[in-house]
A and B are shown apart, each in its own frame.
Chain A
Amino acid sequence: MDMIAPLAKTGLISEAMNLWLAVPIGFVFGLGLYYAGFTDSRRIARAFYLKDVGVPVVMFSAIVTGMLGLWALSLIGFIDTSKMFYLPTFLVPMAVGGFLFGIGMAVGGFCPGTAAASVATGRIDAMIFVVGFLIGSILFGDLFPIWGDFYNSDYRGVFRLDELLGLDIGVVVLILTVAAIGGSLLMRAGQHYFWPQPDADVDALRARLKVQIPLVAVALVVAAVMALFPTESFIKPAPAGWFVIQKHAAAPETPEAVTAPSGDAPAEAAPAPAPAPAPARHPRGGSEGC
């Protein structure tokens, strides 16, 4: 049976329809950011003092939701993972970028998505943050020759945690789900330890737990079931080894996967099997994550 999704790649919807459907998807995203309280810079920044750990809890929940959904749909044969665009790994630049990004978030109180959402709620500090973000982006692009080589260094292709750890995808999904729940509880405990609130509204807290506990339970059950399946159940031996994406694909937004023999997953000993051709000055649009 042919797989249905991704709809735009299997030809079920046109490219124009795909673009228009991005609007309602973005709408839900923006609404979710608002209802997460992510349009408030103080709330985001307080996470770095463990004063309000709602931010990482939301992030973990979003990742776990997307992760369980993606791999469960792949498991039941609904979504063809070989037709998806996966983010490639440039390990050291991404780690350094993440550290700088964290500094910027603690100083500025936003990340790009939350700042954009906050601009839409009229917040002036968010508007100034976005101006700064645009300046930072243009600086990076215009002075690209200075750090271009570093930007393109440590290329690992599409490199997944299951390959790094030598475990099945389902097991990694379960581990991450448990770690997200455990991490959330641990941070919540830290918040109560460092910033005790003896006059907290117990009824309101209880009402929130009543919503959250079933969601967490469902996630645990789904992840536990997925852990029973081997990696091959999630990733069909596709003709294209999409785990190795060529560094500079032909056309932007449609990265051509290098054809690799199936089952030739990068082992942890040799995590960079990419037969990358002559080093590119800059990768094409496909490797642009966000």
Chain B
Amino acid sequence: MSLIVNSVSKAFGRYPALADVSLEARQGEFLALLGPSGSGKTTLLRILAGLEAPDGGAVTFGGEDLLALSARERRVGMVFQHYALFRHMTVARNIAFGLSVRPRATRPSKAEIGRRVGDLLRLVQLEDLETRYPSQLSGGQRQRVALARALAIEPRMLLLDEPFGALDAKVRRDLRRWLRRVHDETGVTTVFVTHDQEEALDLADRVAILKDGRLVQIGEPQAVYNAPADAFIYDFLGGAVRLRGHVAAGVLAIGDWRTPTPDDAPQGGVDAFFRQDQAVINGVEGEGFLAAVKGMAQRGPAIRLDLEALGEPLELLLAAGEVPDFARPGGTVRIAPRQLRLFAAA
């Protein structure tokens, strides 16, 4: 029972929101749709939910044509960024909504609905709050109610639209782990939209990256992080340092620094990328490109180094032990990236 999206397109007026997107979410998989705002990820999610109709393409779930079904017939649980809880209903009635609107023939008895609501309240750890109204809850609690409400209909697929986008960082991290546990307990196929690369990499089984309405890469978080398909993705996944360089005859030149390149490296002008925390600081006689140290600041457990190299500012984030004594503001150092990735210059 997997979700298959086959070359789906959608335009709003003359603005193309999705162009020929194809992807698959396996049974029980946790798939993240990651992209900057305007990349079409929410549009794709709303198409899966039946809240938008695509201009072209096909969407099937377990072989069944989802596009032939209306939103109410799909049995797909949706969690909205701003919760969309029914504000005039208590927590318990919010969660019971999906069961209580079923046609009489398939509607569970009152007692059965009550029991199911109790189970879900336990699952989302809100047993004491069933008589509260949404306006009396914190953001994190509201989002948990929204999830319980979506799970109440025993959805065949769960869709989450930036569910933690409106929450603060700490609550966000806690809820993220908790959501993953709920997913593992219920085993429901989940598609999750986010613009936060850390969230996607931390949470998902696989990550699909969208840009300008196109799918640019899909894969497991570690694979995507280690081998981004292009410069945009490398940059978007966070903590990237970009340098301009030149490749000729198997040698990369960055400033006065020369280093051998693999055979498949692009030739000519290149963008060389490495992660902020993946570099060794050497003395001026050592290996690496030259950089002037402009400033230094403790940032949590790490040290942030503000540097200038090749006339451009760059920023490294290193553990305290990795910053040698001679790397002081006003000094000059050489930076040797541990792993460089080269993309032909745009």
Q: Determine if chain A interacts with chain B.
A: no
